[in-house]
Each structure stands twice: as C-alpha cells, then as structure tokens.
C-alpha cells in the first residue's frame, strides 16, 4: 500500500466540520495514513486484545459494526479500543456490556444480508478531539450514484490479508450504481440493504476492515461488509457495505439513537 503522510486530516475536517463536533471481512488498499482526529468516530473491535474489525461510535455508549464481526463471539472476549490512531496501543480499552445483531442478519450464498451489529459499551466513551459521535442518516435516506465517500480502517493493505496495518488508514471511494454492482457480482446477492462503492485508482476496503465506516456528507451511510478479497481495490469488483438508512428504525429501537 502507498503510505502518504499528507494533510488528509485537514481534508477530512472540511468534510466533517459541519456535522461532527470538533471534528467477508474487508481493509484499506492504496489508502493514506491518518490520525484518529481525522476520523474520531472510528473504533477497533477486538477479540482477546487483538484487532478483529472496525466500527463507529454512534452514541457515548453504542458502537455500530457488522453482524459477521460479532456472531458467535462471547462477550468476555470482546472489547473496543477508542481514541487511538493505532489498533494495538493508545486511546482506551472499553469492555462490552451487550451485543445485538440485527434479527434478520443471515448468510445468503456465503454473504451476510442485514449485516449490522449494535455493541453496547460497559461505560461511556470520553468525548474529545480523538473520540466523537458520527451522525446517522434519516430512515430510508437515498444515496446517489457517484457520491464521494470516505472509508477507513486498520485492515490488510492487500499485501498480507492476515495482518492488519498498524496505523489507521483512509481512502476516498464513490458510490457505485446498484444495477451495475449486481452485474459485477453475478453469482452474489446484492440487496437494498447494501451500498456498493468503487474507485478509479484501485483503492478501497480489503480483509480486516469489516464493520468500519463509510461516511458521506458527515454522516455514517454504510458499514463495511464484503468484497472480493482476492482483488482488493479492483474497480471491476465493487466493495459492498451494509446500508445504514435501511435499518435506521431498528437502530433507534435498540440504542435510542
């Protein structure tokens, strides 16, 4: 992965300042190293102290991630690291009180539909420049084709799918037409609970970014769900995210957010 230390924090701050106060598994390929203050809603979901998935802070006590990240994992094994650029150090570790996978979450041809999990923290996060709540879209809010988005995470850079990257990474992607996405994944199921993205420069999510954020116009519109890990970032195979607006009522019912 190309590692560029540029003013990405300034670029992201311009995107989020109006919305955020102060500012199959998938990972970021051809992304840019960023500081956590550029994506302060980002968390690392961990099992037994090791990075497993990404996630997003949607209130001081709730995190939204992917259902396939928490299915079958008992609560004592789970924790989140918040407020850190690195998944293995810094910030603070918070234990999990409860996890609630979407009741319709299920495997369809080896792909999760309704790929959402709400994780309740054992104690509230401490808000600051490195830890912020990301606003959510309204129920059933549409997302237009070619909308510019930002996705972030610690997943594989594409070089070694088993190894998360040490530093948080982010990249820009665009929303991909839903019909064309179905054509690009002819043997898979693309439902209305999903959003597809792609880019022209082989950037995007890969192994280890699952559960992480897809953000547009300062709001969390998607959760990293699945993609073709054999060709991470390949524009011929769009990445697929769980569409947050499709389950907005469920989020409010469970987390009162």
Q: What architecture (CATH level 2) is domain 134-245?
A: Beta Barrel (2.40)
| Mean pLDDT of the region 21-25 | 32
The structure's pTM equals 0.85
Q: Given a cut of 60, is residue 19 above it in pLDDT? A: no
Q: What is the pLDDT of residues 167-183, one digit of tens each?
A: 999 999 999 999 999 99
Task: Give yes or no: 156 in active site.
Answer: no
| CATH 2.40.10.10-classified regions of the chain | 40-132+249-255, 134-245
Which is the catalytic residue, given 68, 87, 102, 185? 68
Q: Calculate ∠ Cα 215-216-222, nearest 5°.
A: 45
Which is the catalytic residue, given 25, 44, 115, 225? 115
Which is the catalytic residue, given 44, 84, 198, 210? 210
Q: Which CATH class is domain 40-132+249-255?
A: mainly beta
Task: Give yes or no: 44 in active site.
Answer: no
Name the more confident of 4 and 230: 230
Q: What is the pLDDT of residues 61-100, one digit of tens each?
A: 999 999 999 999 999 999 999 999 999 999 999 999 999 9
Q: Given a cut of 90, is residue 111 above it in pLDDT? A: no
Task: Give yes or no: 160 in active site.
Answer: no
pLDDT at 4: 23
């Amino acid at each position: 992965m190309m590692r560029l230390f540029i003013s990405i924090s300034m670029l992201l701050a311009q995107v989020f300042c109006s919305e955020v106060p102060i500012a199959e598994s998938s990972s970021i390929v051809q992304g840019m190293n960023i500081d956590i203050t550029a994506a302060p809603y980002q968390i690392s979901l961990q099992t037994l102290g090791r990075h497993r998935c990404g996630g997003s802070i949607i209130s001081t006590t709730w995190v939204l991630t992917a259902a396939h990240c928490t299915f079958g994992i008992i609560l004592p094994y789970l924790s989140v690291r918040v407020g850190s650029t690195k998944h293995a150090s810094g910030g603070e570790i918070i234990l999990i009180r409860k996890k609630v996978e979407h009741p319709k979450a299920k495997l369809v041809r080896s792909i999760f539909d309704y790929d959402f999990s709400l994780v309740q923290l054992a104690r509230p996060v401490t808000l600051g420049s490195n830890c912020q709540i990301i606003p959510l879209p309204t129920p059933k809010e549409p997302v237009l084709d070619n909308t510019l988005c930002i996705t972030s995470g610690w997943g594989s850079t594409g070089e070694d799918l088993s190894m998360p990257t040490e530093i948080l990474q982010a990249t820009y992607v665009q929303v991909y037409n839903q019909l064309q996405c179905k054509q690009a994944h002819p043997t898979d199921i693309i439902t209305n609970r999903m959003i597809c993205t792609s880019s022209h420069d082989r950037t995007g999510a890969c192994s280890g970014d699952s559960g992480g954020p897809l953000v547009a116009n300062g709001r969390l519109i998607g959760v990293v769900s699945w993609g073709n890990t054999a060709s991470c970032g390949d524009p011929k195979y769009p990445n697929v995210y769980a569409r947050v607006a499709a389950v907005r009522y469920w989020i409010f019912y469970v987390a009162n957010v």
